[in-house]
Amino acid sequence: MNERILEMGLSPLTDTEYHSDPCSKPSLSSSIAKVLIDSTPLHAWLQHPRLNPDHKPTNDGKFDLGTAAHDALLRGKTEDHFVIVDEKTWQKNSAKDERAEAYLAGKTPLLTWQWRKVEAMTTAARRQLAELDRPERYELDGALVEHSFAWPERRVLSPDEILEPLPDMEQEIWCRAKLDVVRAELKFAWDYKTTKGKAHPDVIQRQLFTLGYDVQRAFYMRGLRAVLGIEVWDFELVFQETEPPYLLAPYTLVAAAECFAARRVEYALDLWARCIHRDEWPAYPQQTISVDAPRWLETQWEDREVREGRL
């Protein structure tokens, strides 16, 4: 897109429009924030559609089932909205060609059995959402569904980061997000996730933080506060299994975990502001890095020594 259309507020953009980063300045998304936290600014620059001139969207087939389930449940998309290929696998050249053509057309390709699974998942999800506590919160009628929103952040730069005079040493940056469901009148929002594993608490507790969903949640809530002016939100991540019986469960964070996620978002915002201001995107430190043994490994080894009578 040549025209930048997303400014302060909410807008029902298409996926292509949103992922092109249609803000007036290159903006920070939750996915780029996670890269800044887990990798380096150079990785973030490489993955940003406005900063890297050679950036090209990639299609990863492992996400197609989740994407289709998302579109069917939240957007009400039916079979006609997808490219359904009547094969058991993608091994045949004809199937590969249909898949490639679907991506070029901006559609999600699915094998027939995958579409049947999406239908079953959608039916199961709607039934279970209606059975949850306070089911009105999960209703899509009257909700803001798949809306993009953008907001400015002003970050105070430290003196060693000021390479030129700036008014009150501040840097304005833009942030953007695209949230699944927002019920502003209920001060409630939720995001839909699919998982190949179980939606059991023991699994999700680990996966949620490993995949950075805590950061995504904190980033989204920050944007909702800025755009809608509502300070306190209930925000849930609804995980659904991709295997029968397609169970789902909603999750939120305890206060301490929320604070931890918010701290990491603050880190990403400050790092982004510094990199944008300097137009410098550093990689790993150039000096040798000293590492310590992780605490869990030491504990595991001490337990073994106790069992073997060495301590």
Total domain count for the chain? 1
pLDDT at residue 47 is higher than 60 = yes
Containing structural domain, residue 265: 9-307
**pLDDT tens digit sequence for 202-237:** 999 999 999 999 999 999 999 999 999 989 899 999
Q: What is the pLDDT of residue 1?
A: 39
In the DSSP assignment, the letter for residue 189 is E
Residues 190 and 164: beta-carbon distance below 8 Å:
no
Distance CA 261, CA 266 (A): 9
176 falls within a domain: yes
> 57: part of which helix (H) or strand (E)?
none
Mean pLDDT of 88-95: 94
Distance CA 287, CA 189 (A): 44
Q: Has this prediction a pTM greater than 0.85? A: yes
> 198: part of which helix (H) or strand (E)?
none
CATH number at residue 41: 3.90.320.10
**pLDDT tens digit sequence for 275-300:** 999 999 999 998 999 999 999 999 99
210 falls within a domain: yes
Q: What is the pLDDT of residue 2?
A: 41
1 falls within a domain: no
> Which residues neighbour 157 within 8 Å (Cβ) at sequence distance 6 or greater?
166, 169, 170, 171, 273, 274, 277
Helix (H, G, I), strand (E, B) or coil at 149: strand
3 falls within a domain: no
In the DSSP assignment, the letter for residue 42 is H
User: What Rg value do the Cα atoms of the chain yield, rounded?
Assistant: 22
Residue 26 vs residue 6, higher pLDDT: 26
Residue 67 is encoded by which pair of tokens? 């994407």
Distance CA 186, CA 144 (A): 12
Share of the chain above pLDDT 70, in %: 94
* Position 160 confidence tier, pLDDT thresholds 50, 70, 90: low
- Give the chain's mean pLDDT: 91
Q: What is the pLDDT of residue 248?
A: 97
Distance CA 249, CA 240 (A): 7
54 falls within a domain: yes
Matching residue, tokens 């001060």: 187
Distance CA 63, CA 12 (A): 22
83 falls within a domain: yes
Among the listed ranges 30-39, 83-92, 164-173, 260-269, which one has the minimum average pLDDT value?
164-173
Question: Could you tell me whether strands 144-156 and 9-11 are parallel, antiparallel, or unpaired per DSSP bridges?
Answer: antiparallel
Q: What is the pLDDT of residue 111?
A: 95
Distance CA 227, CA 152 (A): 9
Comparing C-alpha atoms, which of 237, 195, 231 is closest to residue 215? 237
4 falls within a domain: no
Helix (H, G, I), strand (E, B) or coil at 250: strand
Helices of type H across the chain: 15-19, 30-38, 41-47, 64-74, 93-104, 112-131, 201-210, 213-228, 255-278, 295-307
Query: Which long-range contacts (C-beta less than 8 Å, at least 24 apart) are formed by 298-305?
Result: none
